[in-house]
Amino acid sequence: MEKKTFYISTPIYYPSSNLHIGHTYCTVAADAMARFKRLQGYDVMFLTGTDEHGQKLQRIADENGVKPIEYVDIIVDGVKKLWATMEISYDDFIRTTEPRHMKRVQNIFMKMYEKGDIYKSSYEGLYCTPCESFWTETQLVDGCCPDCGRPVEKMKEEAYFFKLSKYQDKLIDLFKNNPEFLEPESRRNEMIKFCEQGLEDLCISRSTFDWGIPVPIDEKHVIYVWLDALTNYITALGYSEDDEKYKKYWPVDIHLVGKEIVRFHTIIWPAMLMSIDEPLPKKVFGHGWILLEGGKMSKSRGNIVDPVVLIEKYGVDALKYFLLREYSFGSDGVFTNEALLNRINSDLANDLGNLVSRTVSMIEKYDGGVIPEPAVKADPDDDLIAVATGAANKVEELMNKLNYSVALDEIWAIVRRTNKYIDETTPWILAKNEADKGRLDTVMYNLAESIRIVSVLILPFMHHTSSEIWKQLGIPEGEGTGWEDTFKWGVLKVGTKVEKGPALFPRIDIEKELEALCAGQAPKEEPKAAKKEEKKEEPEEKGEITIDDFDKVELKVGEIIACEKHPKADKLLVSQVKIGEETRQIVSGVAKYYSPDDMIGKKVVVVANLKPVKLRGELSQGMILFADGADGGLEFVQTTAPSGADVK
């Protein structure tokens, strides 16, 4: 019998710079869903890729002195390496610069054109001549180009347009009649409102730059981003050239997209599909964003957002688990290292890790390391069995709603119930009395069997942990590790030899770890993906900020008038810093580089409006700035300006 198919996609990422933890979020979610459906026996197609054309990428490449393709090749290589590190199980990776995509986009353009849905007109906007860019009124900064700050002028450019307005009513019907088409529901209401305000036709070509797919009927123009990007979901399946895969997997089951691109996926994309008479996606899910405290990464707060660093430190399973358990998928959430470490300790080290290690140790101690035959049933058994075998249905229902967080909590309900079962059955007391051996054996069997079910259910989210559990319980892969085995009890073979292994998730001393992160010990830069990027003197990608963002930071000259070692932390120094009339206490993670005596008397630059924090019990009211020294140390940012002076 042919397997049922399941097609899931992520957005295709802009290869303008290396990806961060926010980008990995959607891909991790898509990966878990793809693995979940494979576990359930589906024939899965999981697509991701990169969106490589457009004026912005052409400009970045120019700035780096390379051809656009050379620039994107390097970044895309880094993206693929990141997905390999994160063990993302995609089935295809589409690049919009590949000939297979370009040819098929041109075919799609022609189909829309022949349908009468594309016409030539002119695009009017505010134009910055040196940057060769059109801007909208709202994008301008003080009425000038947001990129170079120079004045803009009204300009007209010839362009091709797609008749989006023609599909307005059909789109409103789509939202109203197919509630499952766009989720969460709140985003649906937004889109209906947007359509009801009236849709304008969409500009789909440009002639002021050439980094794009040529318009097949007019080589002066290139196809403008969204027609090029959105069509990847069908060009990757061979649409218009080799339709076998397309027929097999389209329409897509789920397009996972970030909330800010829901509009493109639920208005423009369906309208394009309507134009070429193809079926619409079954579902578009708009997920929330992972934000950082204060909006951006801050080493002084110890917030690392480089996924590679986090994986190196805590493992890929822990990071994937955290991302999907901590945040409700449809909503925004704030990333902190503290939240990550707390999750690792409580859910992974304490709840799951301890359960596995206690069970294996007890089987070794009481049964010579061999899973015993259950003999005597008693009271809590039925409840444990009901919880463990009843979880899969609930997990399936939650996964189909993309409710990853509650699905994981449902699996953890088994973990918690099993831990409670140990407390209820007190095996260490049963072990004291030979007459209770039959009961003890049943308890040991039930513990191991419950863990087996957990190990299968976590497979889509953390497959290394599943394998490690199977190793410790002596289960060969494929024996009781299928989806259907999660509904059954008594699958684990009596007589299987268990073998204690290392702790699944070693406990982390959170305070120490955060302190190390604060002191700048842990952050390790991901090797830059782009060779040319290394030319940039910035050590890390922080994204652009406006002058208004910069204005929020109050930098002042301060004089360090006293300094001592932190009483509880070797890496920290506690300084008294005179800023004008005021004296503030500031804690810095620089004891590795400077003694208190080195600090005293220095006139330095201080971030004066940083929210005060306590670092290992000592109040810190600001941050002293240091520069990375040539020898790997840290250098003061010194000045002779008077204490209290503004640094601007």
Binding site for ligand MSP (CB under 6 A): 11-14, 22-23, 25-26, 51, 229-230, 232, 257-258, 260-261, 289-290
Question: Is the Cβ of residue 229 or residue 274 nearer to ligand MSP in the bound state?
Answer: 229
Closest separation in Å from C-beta 253 to ligand MSP = 16
Closest separation in Å from C-beta 272 to ligand MSP = 11
Closest separation in Å from C-beta 49 to ligand MSP = 9
Question: Is the Cβ of residue 30 or residue 557 nearer to ligand MSP in the bound state?
Answer: 30
Closest separation in Å from C-beta 21 to ligand MSP = 7
At 399, list the tokens: 């996964």
Question: Is the Cβ of residue 257 or residue 340 nearer to ligand MSP in the bound state?
Answer: 257
Q: How far apart are CA 638 and CA 557, in angstroms?
A: 9
Q: Which helix (H) or strand (E) holds 118?
A: strand 118-128
The angle subtended at Cα 93 by Cα 92 and Cα 98, nearest 5°, is: 115
Q: How far apart are CA 71 and CA 73, in angstroms?
A: 6
**One-letter amino acid for residue 6 of the chain:** F
Question: Is the Cβ of residue 13 or residue 636 nearer to ligand MSP in the bound state?
Answer: 13
Question: Is the Cβ of residue 25 or residue 161 nearer to ligand MSP in the bound state?
Answer: 25
- In Å, the largest CA–CA distance within the chain is 93
Helix and strand counts by DSSP (H, E) for the chain: 23, 25
Question: Is the Cβ of residue 10 or residue 466 nearer to ligand MSP in the bound state?
Answer: 10
Helix (H), strand (E), coil (C) string for 220-237: EEEECHHHHHHCHHHHCC
Q: Helices in 368-473 by DSSP H: which ranges?
A: 379-400, 404-425, 427-430, 437-457, 463-473
Closest separation in Å from C-beta 19 to ligand MSP = 7
Burial degree of 224 (CB within 10 A; 0-12, 13-18, 19+): buried
Q: Which helix (H) or strand (E) holds 518?
A: helix 510-518
Q: How far apart are CA 316 and CA 339, in angstroms?
A: 16
Question: Is the Cβ of residue 97 or residue 486 nearer to ligand MSP in the bound state?
Answer: 97
Closest separation in Å from C-beta 288 to ligand MSP = 7
Among 328, 364, 385, which Cα is nearest to 496's?
364
Closest separation in Å from C-beta 547 to ligand MSP = 23
Residue nearest to ligand MSP (CB): 258
Closest separation in Å from C-beta 305 to ligand MSP = 9
Beta strands in 238-318 (DSSP E): 254-258, 284-287, 290-292
Q: How far apart are CA 357 and CA 422, in angstroms?
A: 13
Closest separation in Å from C-beta 27 to ligand MSP = 9
Contact 518, 337 (CB under 8 A): no
Q: How many CB atoms lie within 10 A of CB 398?
A: 18
Question: Is the Cβ of residue 39 or residue 290 nearer to ligand MSP in the bound state?
Answer: 290
Q: At what angle do helices 437-457 and 379-400 cross, to 10 degrees?
A: 0
Among 165, 164, 160, which Cα is nearest to 216's?
160
Q: How far apart are CA 36 and CA 570, in angstroms?
A: 46
Question: Is the Cβ of residue 230 or residue 475 nearer to ligand MSP in the bound state?
Answer: 230
| Sheet of 284-287, strand order | 92-95, 43-50, 5-13, 254-258, 284-287, 182-183
Among 507, 206, 529, 160, which Cα is nearest to 349's?
507
Closest separation in Å from C-beta 313 to ligand MSP = 20
C-alpha 384 chain-centroid distance: 34
Closest separation in Å from C-beta 36 to ligand MSP = 20
Q: How far apart are CA 282 and CA 266, in angstroms?
A: 11
Question: Is the Cβ of residue 24 or residue 496 nearer to ligand MSP in the bound state?
Answer: 24
Q: How far apart are CA 302 and CA 304, in angstroms?
A: 6
Closest separation in Å from C-beta 514 to ligand MSP = 22
Question: Is the Cβ of residue 12 or residue 202 nearer to ligand MSP in the bound state?
Answer: 12
Closest separation in Å from C-beta 551 to ligand MSP = 23
Question: Is the Cβ of residue 203 or residue 599 nearer to ligand MSP in the bound state?
Answer: 203
Beta strands in 209-361 (DSSP E): 214-215, 218-223, 254-258, 284-287, 290-292, 333-335
Question: Is the Cβ of residue 336 or residue 585 nearer to ligand MSP in the bound state?
Answer: 336
Question: Is the Cβ of residue 30 or residue 395 nearer to ligand MSP in the bound state?
Answer: 30
Q: How far apart are CA 161 and CA 352, in angstroms?
A: 56
Closest separation in Å from C-beta 237 to ligand MSP = 14
Question: Is the Cβ of residue 25 or residue 209 nearer to ligand MSP in the bound state?
Answer: 25
Q: Supply the DSSP symbol for 352.
A: I
Contact 49, 90 (CB under 8 A): no
Closest separation in Å from C-beta 530 to ligand MSP = 15
